[in-house]
Structure 1
Amino acid sequence: MGGKILTLADSPVVGILANPASGRDVRRLVARASVFPTVEKSNMILRMLSAMGSLGVRDVLMMPDTGGIAARVLHEQETAIARHGRNWPRVRFLEMPIEYGEIDTIRAVEQMVSQGVELIIVMGGDGTHRVVSKACGSTPLVALSTGTNNTFPEIREATVAGLAAGLVATGKVRVEEVSSQNKLLHLELGGRGEEIALVDLCVSTECWVGTRALWQPACLRELFVTFASPSSIGLSSIVGYLRPVERWDPFGVRLLLAPPGEGRFTLSVPIAPGLMQQVGVVEMDELHPRQVCAIGTGRGTIAFDGERSVAFTEQDRPLVRLEMEGPITIDIDRVMRVAAEGHLFICD
């Protein structure tokens, strides 16, 4: 693979992308969402490094940041190497400018892929994983939740996540046995480009992006989802309370929405942590692969995985379709089960 890092031991390389801004949006003010502090993100990375090192991972690439994650990892690495020696991975920070936006994530992922990482551990919310998915191609992801309203990534103990990543990266567990390809929603916006969503795409009558996060459902008019669970929070829970859809089902769902008290019926759903809101439901249909749906709302904004990103008018003629060729994710439970059944943790 062109540009791949060469190491003396020819050991596998793992990428870690930790979003320093995840878990800190406006939902801490309008709801009761918890803050995910920088120190905990750093601690998670250190636990993963320890676990991966015990399995033979010697090289890790990370995205740099100025929020404190990189600085703490570098500081702790010196102590860890002195204590654990060769069993601690060497962390290299990518050489790239920091612009405090999505472009940082895209550049970091592109560099990791071009340098041949076996997989990328992503620490962030649905929005972070959406951006990563634009650039990761067929490189598998270990999706870890450190954001808000998370549906795509999981909340996992970092040590176990590091073990799973190490088992796959070193080839002790075959990635084909423990990974799956996700669905995604694809938006075409006339001549203004394209966008994707991993979980939900929602149309609002509000005509400005503003604080990006959606928490006032009276303005919602159309909702598309790839999967939906009644155990989740956020926009996809609207579908989850009506028609649960599994992550691997070969279809999605489209809802037409209305203000509370209008439509066929009204639901009460957790739009954000601790924030129950009512929304009217007009119509529900299955969304099949490659089926193209024209957005019927004349003007407003479109949110991707819970965050408003695009304003549009009827001249843009936005179109949505469901794709089955989304990012590949590693199933941590399946990795650990395969490893246990194969007696890979026995030392003698």
Structure 2
Amino acid sequence: MATIGLIVNPAAGRDIRRLTGGASVVDNYAKRRVAECVCDGLTVAGEPLEVLVMPDRTGIADHAVAEAPAEIDATTLEMPIEESPADTRRAAATFREAADVVVVLGGDGTTRDAALELGDVPLVAVSTGTNNVVPSAVDGTVAGAAAALVATGTVAADAVATRHGTVEARAETPAGERRLTGLAAAEVSSQSFIGTRALLDPADLRGGVVSQAHPGDIGLPAVAGSLEPLSPADPGGVAIRLADPTDAPRAVRAIVAPGVTATVGVASCERLEPNESATFDVPDGVVGADGERELELTDATVELTPVPDGPRLVDVDATLEAGARAGAFEVAPIDEPRTE
């Protein structure tokens, strides 16, 4: 029996950017409904499946298990709950050995936490967070159907999953080396403290390196994508250095946060080959990942490097198309009873 892991981050999509910008609230009721839809979508496989759900204290996992269709063997994963990103990482580490496919409901941060532990297990990332550069805005039922097709081998994972790059940040400080991994981006900010974590003011951003870039993204990937678009399937990354728009040689209008657009000055923007680093001096600031400040640094030198061996992300549309070509959705005609 194929096994699907389901990770739902209760904290995703509920940070301060709901107050300072136009980001929509994704409450726990909505996440319960999406998780329920994922389980319904799994029935498309037409065979029994096992679903292991990451536990939480908000009732999301319990609801998904209770409402799962009869043909789905749904249980809650047994693990301690800290109500922190450690929950996602712990569940993903278990799924690395126990699951054929993992569905993650969250934003870039949740997807990153899961991806760092999943190894080669295919990942279906569903957008329910704030920064959603990597996760897809896809219906939960559709995501579940795609996960089922890959988990059962009806559609080969190698045919529909692509390896997404990451960005490794390595900081040399007077106190020693510190490291951080970003999925879509690693950013350098002039803010000297983490605070609420969210990168809110574009004037604070000094630049960074992104693993994908498109004007329709959010944050630094949108700024880089306005000048140097980079597909998630393309190798390498884009290094971008920002400046005051009144002094910079170039400027772009970009979506820097949900509900926030700004004119951003660009000192330089260049493609990087895989494993080619860009160096930033940080006299006093913060290095962030995927729109969230993480490392407070003083008198540091930071190397940001695009690395090619990130998560295997499942293309939901390609999976469903491949399933249709394989006849995965065809069933025997239903005989209607005769009427006299």
TM-score scaled by structure 1?
0.90
> Which residue does the alignment assign to 1:26?
16
Verify the 8 A CA contact 1:206 1:219 in the aligned structure 2. yes
Name the aligned partner's letter for residue 115 of structure 2: S
Q: Could you list the per-position Cα deviations for residues 163-211 of structure 1 after superposition, in whole angstroms to 9, with x for gaps in the alignment? A: 1111111111111111111111111223344221111111011110011
Residue 263 of structure 1 aligns to a residue whose secondary structure is coil
Q: Distance in 2 between matches of 1:173 and 1:267?
A: 41
> Which residue does the alignment assign to 2:80?
97
**Corresponding position: 1:107 with 2:85:** no
Verify the 8 A CA contact 1:16 1:121 in the aligned structure 2. yes
Verify the 8 A CA contact 2:115 2:311 in the aligned structure 1. yes
**Corresponding position: 1:129 with 2:111:** yes
Tell me by how many angstroms 1:52 deviates: 1.1
> Which residue does the alignment assign to 2:149?
167
Tell me by how many angstroms 1:278 deviates: 2.3
More strand, by proportion: 2
Query: What count of residue pairs does the alignment treat as equivalent?
Result: 328
- Kindly report which structure 2 residues correspond to 1:311-330, keeping only aligned pairs within 5 A, or say none: 311-314=296-299, 316-330=300-314
Q: Distance in 1 between matches of 2:27 and 2:96?
A: 28
Tell me by how many angstroms 1:13 deviates: 0.8
Moved more, 301-310 or 61-70: 61-70
Verify the 8 A CA contact 2:213 2:225 in the aligned structure 1. yes
**Corresponding position: 1:148 with 2:139:** no
Q: Distance in 2 between matches of 1:273 and 1:186?
A: 25
Tell me by how many angstroms 1:54 deviates: 4.1
Verify the 8 A CA contact 2:169 2:303 in the aligned structure 1. yes
Verify the 8 A CA contact 1:57 1:170 in the aligned structure 2. no
Q: Distance in 1 between matches of 2:231 and 2:214?
A: 7
- After TM superposition, the runs of 4+ consecutive aligned structure 1 residues lying more than 4 A away are none
> Which residue does the alignment assign to 2:256?
271
Cα RMSD after superposing both structures:
1.5
Runs of at least 5 residues in structure 1 that lack an aligned partner in the other structure: 1-10, 82-86
TM-score scaled by structure 2?
0.92
Residue 242 of structure 2 aligns to a residue whose secondary structure is strand
Tell me by how many angstroms 1:263 deviates: 1.4
Name the aligned partner's letter for residue 61 of structure 1: L
Residue 117 of structure 2 aligns to a residue whose secondary structure is coil
Q: Distance in 2 between matches of 1:234 and 1:128?
A: 17
Q: Distance in 2 between matches of 1:170 and 1:219?
A: 47
Name the aligned partner's letter for residue 85 of structure 2: E
Q: Distance in 1 between matches of 2:201 and 2:152?
A: 46
Residue 35 of structure 2 aligns to a residue whose secondary structure is helix
Verify the 8 A CA contact 2:279 2:303 in the aligned structure 1. yes
Q: Distance in 1 between matches of 2:248 and 2:102?
A: 43
**Corresponding position: 1:336 with 2:320:** yes
Which of residues 304, 314, 331 in structure 2 aligns to 1:347? 331
Moved more, 51-60 or 179-188: 51-60
Runs of at least 5 residues in structure 2 that lack an aligned partner in the other structure: 333-340
Q: Distance in 1 between matches of 2:211 and 2:37?
A: 32
